[in-house]
Amino acid sequence: MADYYITPNYISIPKIFRKDATGGYFETCISCECNLLEEEVDYLIEKALKPYDGLNSYSTVFEYAICWPCSEKMRMTLSQESKTNIAKYFDQHLDLEERRKQFEETPLDVERWLGTCAISQAPVSELKEFQIYGHFQGKDMIFHHYPFTLSGQVMDELIHLISNKTLDDLQNFTDQLTSGPPEFADLLKSGPRVFI
Ligand SMILES: [Zn+2]
C-alpha cells in the first residue's frame, strides 16, 4: 500500500507549506507538541487559504501541523456514523490511486498537485476558499496520496456528513487555533479536517 517507502518522492518543504508569518518550518505538533523536525515522526500540515490569485497570492485563515499519531487519535474521536459517512463520500468521489496517476509526468510539481480541488476538480483560481493538506517527514514533503486541495464547497459537503457531537469536538480544537475575522466564520466553523 504505502509504496512511497520503496520509491520515495520527496522535495524539501515548499513555501506554501511553511509558516505564513515567518516562512519557517512548522516545528511542533499542535496537539502533543513533539518536535517534528528532530523526532522521526510523520506529520501532516493543514492550511485554510483565501486566494486572491490562486496559489500565487492568498491570505492564510489558519494553519497547523499535527503528528501522525495525534491525527490518528483525532480520527478515533469521530463517531462511527461520521466515519462511515466520510468513507462513503470519499469512495464515491475520489480515487487516490487514479489521482496519483494524473501526475505521473510531473510527480514533484506541487502547484499541479494543489492546482485543482481533488474532488470537484475546480481550479483554485476559481475558488473563494480552500484547504491544502500535505504529508511530511522532517524537512521533506512526500508525494503520494498527499498533497491535495479541497474546495470550501467540498468542505461544506463533508461537514454535513459529520455528527454534531464530533463537530463540537472539532470546534473546540478550532477555537484553540484561531480567532479569525467574522468573514471566515463559516470556514472556521467546519474547522480542521485531519480526519480526511
Ligand atoms: Zn502530536
CA of residue 132 to ligand 1 center, whole Å = 19
Average pLDDT over residues 95-113: 88
Examine residue 51 and say whether the peptide bond preceding it is cis (omega within 30 degrees of 0): no
Q: Locate cell 484553540: which residue?
A: 176
CA distances from 75 to 87, 118, 189 (A): 12, 20, 18
What's this model's pTM, rounded to 2 decimal places? 0.83
Whether pLDDT at 193 is above 80:
no
Q: What is the pLDDT of residues 120-137, one digit of tens each?
A: 999 999 999 999 999 999
- What's the rounded Cα separation, in Å, for the pair 96 and 100? 6
CA of residue 70 to ligand 1 center, whole Å = 4
Domain boundary assignment for the chain:
3-189
CA of residue 31 to ligand 1 center, whole Å = 5
Q: Is the Cβ–Cβ distance between 153 and 185 less than 8 Å? A: no
CA of residue 55 to ligand 1 center, whole Å = 28
Lowest-pLDDT range of 40-49, 73-82, 135-144, 179-188: 179-188
CA of residue 44 to ligand 1 center, whole Å = 10
CA of residue 171 to ligand 1 center, whole Å = 18
pLDDT on residue 174: 64
User: What average pLDDT is seen over the chain?
Assistant: 83
Whether pLDDT at 1 is above 80:
no
pLDDT on residue 177: 59
pLDDT on residue 161: 84
Whether pLDDT at 2 is above 70:
no
CA of residue 45 to ligand 1 center, whole Å = 12
CA of residue 172 to ligand 1 center, whole Å = 17
pLDDT on residue 147: 94
Residue partners of 64: CB distance under 8 A and separation at least 6 = 26, 30, 45, 46, 177, 192
CA of residue 32 to ligand 1 center, whole Å = 4
Average pLDDT over residues 84-107: 88
Q: What is the pLDDT of residues 144-159, one digit of tens each?
A: 889 999 999 998 888 8
CA of residue 10 to ligand 1 center, whole Å = 22
pLDDT on residue 132: 95
Average pLDDT over residues 185-194: 45
**What is the percentage of the chain residues whose pLDDT exceeds 90?**
47
Q: Which residue has the higher pLDDT, 75 or 194?
A: 75
